[in-house]
Homo-oligomer: A and B are copies of this chain.
């Protein structure tokens, strides 16, 4: 299996030169486009190749984490009463908003505006507590108690994140955020800046693939929640490349502009991917290629 991963990684390495490293903040632009890693977590053991232990910021892969903890706190039905699950057919940070108020139907938790709303549903007495609970939960599901945030990325996101700020004020305007907008954005920016490795993402994927039970055998989230999450990841986890990804890869997955992809094959394995060169839709070019080949090789498509 390690050999398979090696082969897939090497044959996909050429794609690292395609795509562009995210550069909307200077810290992300520093990423080394030649890095490429993969990690597979199964009940039988771990397999890996390349730069699987290089840290990068989690970015949008934190979105399913918001959803998981919110669902634990409030139940899936509460969550579904607040955000929709239809694909928007729009880029991840688009706004199309002529109505006096935003409609739940337009707030997909896998795009920024929905993720900010969902983040605000995590139960906490303060936003500091909200952040601590989220960080603790992320450590738990990645099996990595050392996780920490990248201060420079966080500061930079906070300073330049005016589009997310705009989205948050739209939510506030529609009564979908309670309390301070700036404080909630702080939690959001901080959580997007958590540094992870392929291994961390693979463990997170394992939890979903293993129906909510982690590698130590502890149940973290209800079985039904993993079904909900896998459905949402499949229909909208890869931005507006989700349809194409479903046909060529067919694995529930979430990508981030840091170059990571978290994927899970129900009943089989969790996968963590890293390669920072992105396609136009914001997904890792070499990462998607590796998943496509792994899916074909091991017949992983759920379809």
Scoring A residues 164 to 196 as 1 if CB is less than 8 Å from chain B, else 0, what string do you get? 011111101100000001000000000000000
- Chain B residues within an 8 Å CB radius of A169: 162-163, 165-166, 169
Measured in the bound complex, the distance between the Cα atoms of B250 and A84 in whole Å is: 16
Q: Within the complex, what minimum Cβ distance (angstroms) separates A266 from chain B?
A: 7
Name the CB-closest residue of B to A302.
B302
Measured in the bound complex, the distance between the Cα atoms of B303 and A266 in whole Å is: 7
**Chain A interface, >50% SS class:** helix
Scoring A residues 75 to 95 as 1 if CB is less than 8 Å from chain B, else 0, what string do you get? 000001000111111110011
> Is A232 part of the contact surface with B, judged by Cβ < 8 Å?
yes
With A95-B95, A230-B303, A303-B266 known to touch, is A85 a contact of B162 (CB < 8 Å)?
no
From the candidates B97, B230, B303, name the one contacting A231 in the complex (CB within 8 A): B303
- Chain B residues within an 8 Å CB radius of A173: 162-163, 165-166
Is there contact, CB below 8 Å, between A87 and B235?
Answer: yes
With A86-B240, A87-B87, A97-B94 known to touch, is A234 a contact of B252 (CB < 8 Å)?
no
- Chain B residues within an 8 Å CB radius of A89: 86-90
With A302-B303, A303-B234 known to touch, is A90 a contact of B85 (CB < 8 Å)?
no
Measured in the bound complex, the distance between the Cα atoms of B228 and A242 in whole Å is: 13
> Is A221 part of the contact surface with B, judged by Cβ < 8 Å?
no
From the candidates B98, B167, B266, name the one contacting A90 in the complex (CB within 8 A): B98
> Is A156 part of the contact surface with B, judged by Cβ < 8 Å?
no
Name the interface residues of A224-239: CB closer than 8 Å to any CB of B: 226-228, 230-232, 234-236
- Chain B residues within an 8 Å CB radius of A302: 266, 302-303
Measured in the bound complex, the distance between the Cα atoms of B85 and A242 in whole Å is: 9
Scoring A residues 150 to 163 as 1 if CB is less than 8 Å from chain B, else 0, what string do you get? 00000000000011
With A235-B235, A303-B234 known to touch, is A84 a contact of B243 (CB < 8 Å)?
yes
- Chain B residues within an 8 Å CB radius of A94: 97-98
Q: Which residues of A contact B (CB under 8 A)?
A: 80, 84-91, 94-98, 108, 162-163, 165-170, 172-173, 181, 226-228, 230-232, 234-236, 240-244, 246-247, 250, 252, 266, 301-303
Given A227-B301, A234-B303; 12 other pairs, CB 8 A cutoff: A86-B89, A87-B243, A88-B89, A162-B169, A166-B166, A166-B168, A166-B169, A227-B250, A230-B303, A231-B243, A252-B303, A302-B302
